[in-house]
Amino acid sequence: MRALVIGAGPAGLMAAEALADAGYPVVVAEAKPSPARKLLMAGKSGLNVTKDEALPAFAAHYDAGWLAPMLAAFGPEQVQDFCRGLGQEVFTGSSGRVFPVALKGSPLLRAWLERLAQKGVDLRRRWRWTGFDGDALTFDTPEGAQVVQPQVTVQALGGASWPRLGSDAAWLPWLANHGVEITPFAPANMGFCMDWSPHMARHFGQPVKGVCLIADDRRERGEFVISARGLEGGGIYTISRDLRLGAPLALDLFPDLTLAALRDRLARMRQGESASNRLRKLGLAPATAALVMELARPLPTDLAPLLKHLPVPHGGPRPLDEAISSAGGIARAALTNDLELKALPGLFAAGEMLDWEAPTGGYLLTASWATGLHAGRAAARRLASIPIS
């Protein structure tokens, strides 16, 4: 076996296509009965493939500057061309997020698998990697235990945030035992725990819109959802890394008003009105007003500063297995510039196995594709340097 890819998610399939395009026969080993389950899950709410954004601004959303050359080779423009090349036209929403017109992931994946099959990529389902046997790789397969020793391997096994879809990080100890440096996994793009009083139950599932989320000096416009488990949704995910690292959370409930303007509105209200009436007259939705009452009672006489900076004490991140993605993974120091593992020459890694973090909004998928392409091309170059025996 010349080339093996482990993992048939976006990064693994991209690596396989890069190897096939270089003229090499490729086997893709996928542990699950069907490929790219996380991609299909993401597509259930509308497959956000990338963000239509200038490359410098796009790359700034990642916490790993070393991804820059990979994103330059396969960034927002290339992602859109890739989708169109599979017969999936795309459109850009008002927020700049890019979606296939079909919105789902299944048409894109189906077309991609057909193209890969035409290029000779051999997808083997229910092939679960189980570790090493010397320099060889071992698998549980429908035909029983298998031991293979490819000339190059690209691993794209995902992070640790979706165990039921295959991203369970079972690979971590096998690589660590071979001297591969691993940054501990942590939840990313996750909700935060709240210890709600019974009064909040009626508002579970309700959105809080039109606010600015504050984490230290960072301010982000967005919205989130009040849930039985805490606070969830895009606005929270955008600043989740800051919060996980210890930044306090606060809300500006009137980001388009100055403190003076808000005070003026409150001053024009009738004296002696209840706090709940004042919040309602200011235009706060019931769920948002309930959040104020939950977090800040007894309310101060001067409400305006509180509404411009409402502290939100939370109980920390929700668990890793509830997160959309994970931080941590194979450390940059363990990799060459080709994403080859220094401790295991001939073995490359891509996707969310690597230690990088980004918000939702197309950034996760784009970087998975970009690193898969980079690793696949590098693996092909390594194969070209190996004499055929």
Could you say which of 3.40.640.10, 3.50.50.60, 3.30.465.10, 3.40.50.300 is the CATH number of the domain covering 3-187+321-385? 3.50.50.60
Predicted pLDDT of residue 32: 93
The answer on pLDDT for 389 being more than 70 is: no
The more confidently predicted of residues 332 and 271 is: 332
Spatial distance between the Cα atoms of 325 and 231, rounded to a whole number of angstroms:
17
181-217 residues labelled b (16+ CB within 10 A) or e (exposed): bbbebbbbbbbbebebeeebeebeebebebbbbbbee
Distance of CA 94 to the CA centre of its chain: 21
End-to-end CA distance of the chain: 12
> What pLDDT score was predicted for residue 269?
87
- Supply the pTM of this predicted model: 0.91
- Alpha carbon of residue 127 to chain centroid: 25
Express as a percent the part of the chain with pLDDT over 70: 99
pLDDT digits (tens, 9 = 90+) for 209-257: 999 999 999 999 999 999 999 999 999 999 999 999 999 999 999 999 9
- The pLDDT-based confidence of 370 (bands split at 50, 70, 90) is very high
> What's the pLDDT tens digit per position in 137-192?
999 999 999 999 999 999 999 999 878 777 889 999 999 999 999 999 999 999 99
- Inter-axis angle of helices 363-384 and 10-21, nearest 10: 30
pLDDT bucket at 8, cuts 50 / 70 / 90: very high
**Cis peptide leading into residue 313 (ω within 30°):** no
Q: What is the pLDDT of residues 259-314, one digit of tens each?
A: 999 999 998 888 878 888 899 999 999 999 999 999 998 988 899 999 999 999 99
Supply the pLDDT for residue 116: 98
Using CA atoms, how far apart are residues 265 and 157, in angstroms rounded to an integer? 55
What is the pLDDT averaged over residues 17-38? 95
Q: What pLDDT does residue 74 have?
A: 98
Nearest CA among 266, 242, 252 for reference residue 312 = 252
The C-alpha angle 55, 108, 68, rounded to 5 degrees, equals 20
Delimit the domains of the chain by residue range: 3-187+321-385, 192-317
Non-local CB neighbours of 230 within 8 Å, separated by 6+ positions? 191, 192, 193, 194, 314, 315, 318
Query: Mean pLDDT over all residues of the chain?
Result: 94
- Weakest-pLDDT range from 21-35, 53-67, 72-86, 156-170: 156-170
